[in-house]
Amino acid sequence: MNKSLYFSFSFCFLLITAQGQKLVSAEFLNSASAQILGFVNPAAQYDVDTYKITYNTTDIDGSPTIASGAIMIPVNSGCDMFGLVSYSHGTVLEKDNVPSHNNSESLIPKIMASAGRIATAPDYLGLGINAGLHPYVHAESEATAAIDLMRAAREFVNDSLTVSLNGEVFLTGYSQGGHAAMATAKYIQDNNLLSEFDIKAVGPASGPYNMSGSQSAVLLSNQPYSNPGYVCYLLFAYNRVYGNIFTNYSDILKAPYDQTIPPYFDGTYPMDSVNDKLPMVLSDFIQDSVIANLNATASSQNHPIWRALADNDNYDWTPSFPMELYYCTQDEQVNFQNSLVARDSMNAKGAASVVAVNNGATTHGGCVTPSITKANAFFNVEGTACVNIGIDERMRKGLVSIYPNPAQNSISISGLEEEAEVAIFDMQGRFIKSALVKVHSPMSISELEKGSYVLRITEKGVVGTSYLAVY
């Protein structure tokens, strides 16, 4: 496929011709080689093409909206069918610091694609092309953004690529993305979508699954917190979703932070800009009355903030598929007890295939690599390897071609995986010549007379045939 091709459909056209269609557009972004990706993670095997996807989804109120994300396609793999892995990213504040803009975290789904699956990575609502404040750690919109991107990716693959999906689905994510991956898995099961999304395994990492318990302990501990900007992000986002957290910023933030902090949430600043402007102890910038009310209602959770947190808990349910929860015990951003509480709650409900995996006494940043490596290995165990196809099928799909054709003096062959024997016959079946040919290496045909010929290409013991015109 021509990578410069820009697939675009108007919204009206979608409504008229394809009710429920999710894909709006797909734009090629870049390619990454297996060699480069392999330097980062040895699981990488294949080159990867990345596309920006825009798609139809729903806003926090259920109204239609358009969001963006990325899809990563393994190429030069010799495979015909792939599983689908959805990777949900961690906390970002800048609207453009997302997978569809090829941000640094997009390297993770690229590695997963290079390991032999088609990968999707949602930007989330309020990030990428979607307007407004991102509804941070809001379980339902995290889930619908991921699910509708998978649907759009399925349309893109079916309509525009020579490979296909085998129906298997895998979910993972890191930090906020761990919460999002868990939310996506729960939403699919709760809404009876398992026939559409055949989840084989879920591997969320370092996620705040117990928002009203393990994670909210930071609100009450009065101990220094490494990322105080996350607390503002959470309160601002939940006010957007639920509308009852505060009326004015001064209701929750002490001066001068009620004036100095909100402008940093316009989508153009990184989270570090917010963290640098805030004290690390919450009681130094959160209104005393807010903290007092939270403490007073900690047991009953009869407070708008507690109710919002509880509404986004996603640890206490019974997954019907295998799950591994990755965590590190020195995580300074997400309390590792989130993973243990989720495992224990799920096991108690009968989900024996849910385990928690301790990646050691490392920090939040140090937990990324072991988590993603183990998630890849977990998916390999629970999923089906991509199907390798022979040269005959690759030729049928247009993945192997003879060029130029018609030809005069020499030909080359694209799409070979290794050296192949090329035998030329005339139209009466008489053998003319043969040679060993490598990909893109020329084969002389200067001695052939004008006319039509049959090429028999043998690679790995499999034979493909094609026609050649000589002028």
Q: Are 89 and 174 in contact (CB under 8 A)?
A: yes
Please say if the pLDDT value at position 90 is more than 50.
yes
Which residues on adjacent β-strands are paired with residue 120? 71, 86
Calculate the CA dihedral of residues 55, 56, 57, 62 and round it to 10 degrees.
160
> Of 196-210, 378-392, 405-419, where does mean pLDDT reach its minimum?
378-392
Strands 23-32, 47-58: pairing is: antiparallel
Query: For 437-457, how does the pLDDT look when each residue is reduced to its tens digit (9 = 90+)?
Result: 988 889 999 999 999 999 999
Residue 387 reports pLDDT greater than 80:
no
Q: How many CB atoms lie within 10 A of CB 160?
A: 13
In the DSSP assignment, the letter for residue 90 is -
In-domain check, residue 1: no
Q: Which of 149, 104, 162 shows the shortest CA–CA distance to 123?
A: 149
The answer to whether the beta carbons of residues 403 and 429 sit under 8 Å apart is: no
Is the peptide bond prior to 74 cis by the omega test (within 30 degrees of 0)?
no
CATH of the domain at 275: 1.10.260
Quote the Cα angle for 338-344-347, to 5°: 135
Residues 6+ apart with CB under 8 A from 35: none
**Residue 72 pairs with which residues in a beta bridge?**
50, 119
Please report the pLDDT score of residue 8 as a whole number: 38
pLDDT for res 5? 39
Banded pLDDT at 163 (limits 50, 70, 90)? confident
Yes or no: say if 85 and 380 are a contact pair by the CB < 8 Å rule: no
Co-location of 423 and 318 in the same domain: no
- Domain end call among 321, 350, 382: 382
**Which of 165, 201, 154, 196 is closest to 181 using CA atoms?**
201
Instruction: Give residue 456's Cα distance to chain centre.
Output: 41
Structure tokens at 80: 């015909």
Residue finishing a domain among 382, 401, 428: 382
Whether residues 149 and 97 fall in one domain: yes
Mean pLDDT of 209-219: 91
125 in the same domain as 254: no
> Is residue 264 scored above 50 in pLDDT?
yes
The verdict on 206 and 218 lying in the same domain is: no
The first and second tokens of residue 47, run together, are 């080159």
pLDDT at 418: 85
* Domain CATH number, residue 401: 2.60.40.3080
Q: Which tokens hold the place of 390?
A: 């022979």
Specify whether the CB–CB gap between 454 and 424 falls below 8 A. Answer: yes
What single-letter amino acid sits at 186?
K
pLDDT for 395 equals 84
> Using one digit for the tens of pLDDT, what is the confidence trace for 304-336?
999 999 999 999 999 999 999 999 999 999 999
Residue 15, pLDDT score: 34
* Boundary of a domain, candidates 310, 335, 355: 310
Q: What is the CATH number of the domain that holds 67?
A: 3.40.50.1820
Q: What is the pLDDT of residue 17?
A: 35
Cβ pair 127, 95 in contact under 8 A: yes
458 found inside a domain: yes
CA nearest 273: which of 332, 236, 241, 232?
232
What pLDDT is stored for residue 14 in this prediction? 35
* CA distance linking residue 197 with residue 146, whole number of Å: 12
Mean model confidence pLDDT for the chain: 92
Q: Is 272 within 8 Å of 233 (Cβ atoms)? A: no
Give residue 78's pLDDT band: very low, low, confident or very high (50, 70, 90).
Answer: confident
Name the pTM for this structure.
Answer: 0.83
Which DSSP state fits 449?
P
Asked if residue 339 and residue 460 are part of one domain, the reply reads no
Q: Enter the tokens of residue 397.
A: 């799909």
Structure tokens at 344: 């224990």
H helices of 134-216, where?
139-160, 176-190
pLDDT tens across 274-309, in order?
999 999 999 999 999 999 999 999 999 999 999 999
Same domain, 183 and 39: yes
Q: Is residue 159 part of a domain?
A: yes
Encoding tokens for residue 246?
């505060």
Average pLDDT over residues 339-347: 98
- 75 and 46 co-located in one domain: yes
Reduce the DSSP state of residue 27 to 3 states and report it: strand
Long-range contacts of 397-405 (CB under 8 A, 24+ apart): 397/80, 397/162, 398/162, 399/162, 400/457, 400/464, 402/455, 402/466, 402/468, 405/468, 405/469
Instruction: Give the residue-averaged pLDDT of 339-353.
Output: 97
The amino acid that residue 229 corresponds to is G
Same domain for 409 and 348: no
- Split into its structural domains, the chain has a count of 3
> What domain range includes position 417?
391-470
pLDDT tens readout for residues 388-416? 778 887 787 777 889 999 999 999 998 88
Q: Which residues contact 104 (CB under 8 A, 6 or more apart)?
A: none
